[in-house]
Amino acid sequence: MADAVWIRGMDRSELTALTEVMLYSGEVLNHSEIPGKKVDKHSTGGIGDKTSLILAPIVAAGGLTVPMISGRGLGHTGGTLDKLEAIPGFNVNLSLNEFRRVLRECGMGLIGQTAEIGSCRQEIYALRDVTSTVENIGLICASIMSKKLAEGIDALVLDVKTGSGAFMKKEADSIRLAEVMVDTGSAWAKSRRAHHRHGSTARPHGRPFERSRRVYRGPQSRGPADLRELSLELSAWMFYLGERTKSVEEGRHLAETMIVGGQGSKNSGREFGCKVETSASLTSRNACPSRA
């Protein structure tokens, strides 16, 4: 199937049908018991990409809920789950009940896909990797959007990468992928909001890009300027689309406040980032980010 899609492509109705099959191959979450908006960010990948580990606690501390179902690496990129598992004892295989508990207590949670959520998607995800069909726009869109629609979110920010370190080498292909994903999300849920931005991965964001060092260096409040800027931009859009702020500029200011103030406390930037690790591995409630 993957090879056929690679060779012949998919029209809009075929893409919609594939997304539907992948979406309903597992449970579609509903977080109505948690007050407020639920938002997420998805990056199409790239060498050195680690923004999820930074922006999830920023946005949760700012008052939104971030239910993040992440994936593993495809091709040459490392997935968020692969980075998190570089932390000894970190558990990404939470049940849905545990995931909901983390969201209620911490305002954020990062888990992997489970048998309860889109088993079909996991199989196709692995198939793309071994058949060298990772870069097909239709398969990328169906995989990403079915996963994100299953999260039970109100808004989604898409960070679509272009360059030698990304799946999309040409900007025109990145723009097309972004537009297809936004259109697909809008077609499935008229009330949801989505925004896409484009970025280069001609070089890694930040300095270290070994898997374990991405985790421990990425969340610092005074890290590399490019990584900090990207994390602030994405957080700002999440605050805006989640209706936490009235503008993107106000969202950026809130994100900066969450970093500089250490979530309203005197925690350092590194302590701020470590709360991502502890919240998803279900340690103490004190490890969760304090919310604005």
Question: Where in the sequence numbering do the catalytic residues fall?
Answer: 40-43, 80, 128, 143, 147-148
For residue 194, what is the enclosing H or E element?
A: strand 193-200
Phi, psi of 61 (to 5 degrees): -65, -25
CB-CB contact of 70 with 110 (8 Å): yes
Among the listed residues 84, 83, 82, 117, the one whose alpha carbon sits nearest the alpha carbon of residue 98? 117
* Whole-number Å distance between alpha carbons of 58 and 269: 10
19: which 2 tokens?
A: 């997304």
The per-type count for the chain, helices as H runs and strands as E runs, is: 12, 5
CB-CB contact of 145 with 181 (8 Å): yes
For residue 161, give the 3-state DSSP assignment.
strand
In sequence order, the 6+-apart residues with CB closer than 8 A to the CB of 201 are: 46, 47, 48, 49, 161, 162, 163, 164, 165, 166
